[in-house]
Amino acid sequence: MNSVNSAILDASTGWAILAGFSLLWVALGWYWGRNAGQLDEYVLAGRRVGLALGTATAMATWVTSNTTMAAPQLAFQIGVWGMLGYSLGSIGLLLFAPLATRIRSLMPNGYTSGDFVRIRYGNTAWRVFLAISLFYSLGWLVSMGMAGGILIHALTGIPYHYGMTVILAICVGYTLLGGFRAVIGTDFIQALLILVGLVVIAFLAIGKVGFSSIHSAVLAERPELLNLLMPAAIMFLFNNLLFGIGEVFHSNVWWSRAFSFREGVGFKAYTLAGLLWAPIPIVAGFVALAVPALNINIPAADMVGPMVAADLLGVTGAVLVLIMVFAALSSSLDSLLAATSILIVEDIYRRHFKPHASAEQMRRAAARIIVGLGVLTWILCAPRLTTLAELLYFTGAFVASTIWPIAAGLFWRRTNPAAAVAGMVLGSAAGLYSYFAIGFYVAALVGAAVSMVCVLLGTWLAPRAFDWAQLREDHPLHMDTQS
Amino acid sequence: MTMPLTVFSALVLGALAITTAAPLLLLALLIRDWKRKQLW
């Protein structure tokens, strides 16, 4: 089946919806960013974000191609454990809640997760960490750029490259104009759109097909999807848990939010975001399990979500899905663009090349890097080389190896820096080996386990004391901004 | 071991209930923050 022929929205309707929301996001980005002249305002929204916006931005950012594309895909491939496994991604947000409080109190003037690793563990660990973090950020950016192209193509027939280009250009545009304030403000609206869209689709699926028909059709045609003892799926569940924790613990997307939240907000915002996010992959995955009952021909596994929605809901529903998907992808893309740009500006541009750069120079560099990241993502998305889940889980080997160095570094004064380096390097290598030797569903599991052994064993054999006060040093950029 | 229909339905309905309540909760928090002048 050709998705262009099966698209239930015509391309002109698709273009109209994309144009309307693109204008809205860009206008809001300009409006919210018009006073963000200073560096702290542009990259951290002035460090005064409240609970409502904080919760919504954490939740909306975590609703990515994971929930709109890969959760239905995995439910379709490995059944109920796919849904539940994705849901465990919320544990990363929940466990980051106390870390957010700790980060805010240890580094009240901090900018990036790289700042922490550099001061806490030294330059070697910092550079290894940067390599992992930037690789992951790029993988996430590319997976979402691809998701945008695939979804828009599936729903409207608009060619993959056009859809992918539009979503990247719009996110770059409003993030560039409004900085972090635009990211957080649009995230709130996008969170509402995602939640309402998902609820409508799920209720219509239940009303149109019903639990009993969905359950019996899956049982008759693909009983393995309801098998609670499917070994690969159970491995996936634990793997996804660790992958999610690794993603959240290390990524500057979450650290920059911890820095930007008003004092006392971090713990509540991340806890609430985790609790509200957890059911979303279950609802999205449930929609995919309607495939046997609906007797739909799925041309590619990563198109299962939009194909089911299109079959269930007709034209009005397809409009809703397109809006929801556009919101889900934008909310993550903008966050990644903003957080990765400040990571590159602070940890590479300033720390490696321009140690005396002023706040104004940093702000201009951040804007240029947002554009550069957009262009690079477009180049990598263009060939559409792999499926979304494969791309996403390839990075799992790397990020899971950072869990122990980050958590131990934040709470355990005696953590050995060399052990942290070994944990990241050996954990990544072991995770990568298991990805190719066993499967995508064990990469994070192995990476985290090896990293844990390195950090615990290394620190037990050779503990190194650390003075927490070093992390509280006034940041030159912060002082420059305040002056 | 197959997941029974009742467990399957309860799982999805529970998830759906939280997802339905989430936007209302976010809006309530937004109004509260706005009244306290703590939006951002």
pLDDT digit string (tens) for A49-96?
999 999 999 999 888 756 666 778 778 888 888 888 888 889 999 999
Question: Pick from B8, B22, B25: which is nearest to A211 by CB?
Answer: B8
pLDDT at A38: 86
B19, A45: Cβ pair inside 8 Å?
Answer: no
Q: pLDDT class for A7, splitting at 50, 70, 90?
A: low
Tens digits of residue pLDDT in A113-153: 999 999 999 999 999 999 999 998 998 898 889 888 888 88
B39, A215: Cβ pair inside 8 Å?
Answer: no
pLDDT at A6: 58
**Angle (nearest 5°) at CA A401 between A397 and A407:** 145
Residues 6+ apart with CB under 8 A from A42: A33, A36, A179, A180, A181, A363, A366
Put simply, whether B10 touches A (Cβ < 8 Å) is no
Nearest Cα residue to A190 out of A281, A324, A65: A324
The answer to whether position A72 is within a domain reads: yes
Question: Pick from A188, A272, A279: which is nearest to B15 by CB?
Answer: A279
Note down the domain range covering A330.
3-388
Put simply, whether A211 touches B (Cβ < 8 Å) is yes
The answer to whether position A132 is within a domain reads: yes
Neighbours of A457 (CB within 10 A): 14
Picking from A40, A199, A201, A256 by the largest number of B CB atoms within 10 A of its own CB, the best residue to mutate is: A199
Put simply, whether A210 touches B (Cβ < 8 Å) is no
Nearest Cα residue to A287 out of A13, A65, A1, A74: A74
B30, A188: Cβ pair inside 8 Å?
Answer: yes
A50, B38: Cβ pair inside 8 Å?
Answer: yes
The answer to whether position A471 is within a domain reads: no
User: Where does residue A383 rank: exposed (0-12), middle (13-18), buried (19+ CB within 10 A)?
Assistant: exposed
Query: Are the C-beta atoms of A330 and A189 separated by less than 8 Å?
Result: no
Residues of A in contact with B23 (CB under 8 A): 191-192, 195-196
Query: Are the C-beta atoms of A400 and A431 separated by less than 8 Å?
Result: yes
Query: Are the C-beta atoms of A322 and A194 separated by less than 8 Å?
Result: no
pLDDT at A478: 59
The answer to whether position A376 is within a domain reads: yes
pLDDT over 80 at A234, yes or no = no
The answer to whether position A446 is within a domain reads: no
The answer to whether position A125 is within a domain reads: yes
Q: Which of A365 and A1 is assigned the larger pLDDT?
A: A365
Q: pLDDT class for A472, splitting at 50, 70, 90?
A: confident
Mean pLDDT computed over A191-201: 90
Q: pLDDT class for A198, splitting at 50, 70, 90?
A: confident
Put simply, whether B7 touches A (Cβ < 8 Å) is no
B40, A49: Cβ pair inside 8 Å?
Answer: yes
pLDDT over 60 at A481, yes or no = no
Tens digits of residue pLDDT in A235-294: 777 877 888 898 899 999 999 999 999 999 999 999 999 999 999 999 988 888 888 888
Nearest Cα residue to B22 out of A188, A320, A86, A253: A188
Q: What is the ipTM of this complex?
A: 0.95
Q: Which of B18 and A390 is assigned the larger pLDDT?
A: B18
How large is the C-alpha radius of gyration of chain A? 22
The answer to whether position A447 is within a domain reads: no
Domain of A338, CATH number, reads: 1.20.1730.10
Put simply, whether A192 touches B (Cβ < 8 Å) is yes
Question: Pick from A212, A223, A272: which is nearest to B2 by CB?
Answer: A223
pLDDT over 60 at A5, yes or no = no
Tens digits of residue pLDDT in A285-322: 888 888 888 888 777 676 677 777 778 777 777 788 88
Nearest CA in chain A to B13: A283
pLDDT at A2: 41
The answer to whether position A369 is within a domain reads: yes
Secondary structure (H, E, C), A166-208: HHHHHHHHHHHHHHHHHHHHHHHHHHHHHHHHHHHHHHHHHHH
Nearest Cα residue to A73 out of A393, A316, A326: A393
User: Where does residue A316 rank: exposed (0-12), middle (13-18), buried (19+ CB within 10 A)?
Assistant: exposed
Tens digits of residue pLDDT in A36-52: 878 889 999 999 999 99
Tens digits of residue pLDDT in A370-383: 999 999 999 999 98
As a whole number, the mean pLDDT across chain A is 88
Return the structure tokens found at A456.
């615990």
**Angle (nearest 5°) at CA A245 between A444 and A446:** 20
A192, B14: Cβ pair inside 8 Å?
Answer: no
pLDDT at A302: 65
When divided into structural domains, chain A yields a total of: 1
A199, B3: Cβ pair inside 8 Å?
Answer: no
Nearest CA in chain A to B22: A276
pLDDT at A1: 38
Q: Tell me what percent of the residues of chain A surpass a pLDDT of 90.
A: 55
* HSE, side-chain direction, 13 A CA sphere, residue B22: 32
A53, B9: Cβ pair inside 8 Å?
Answer: no
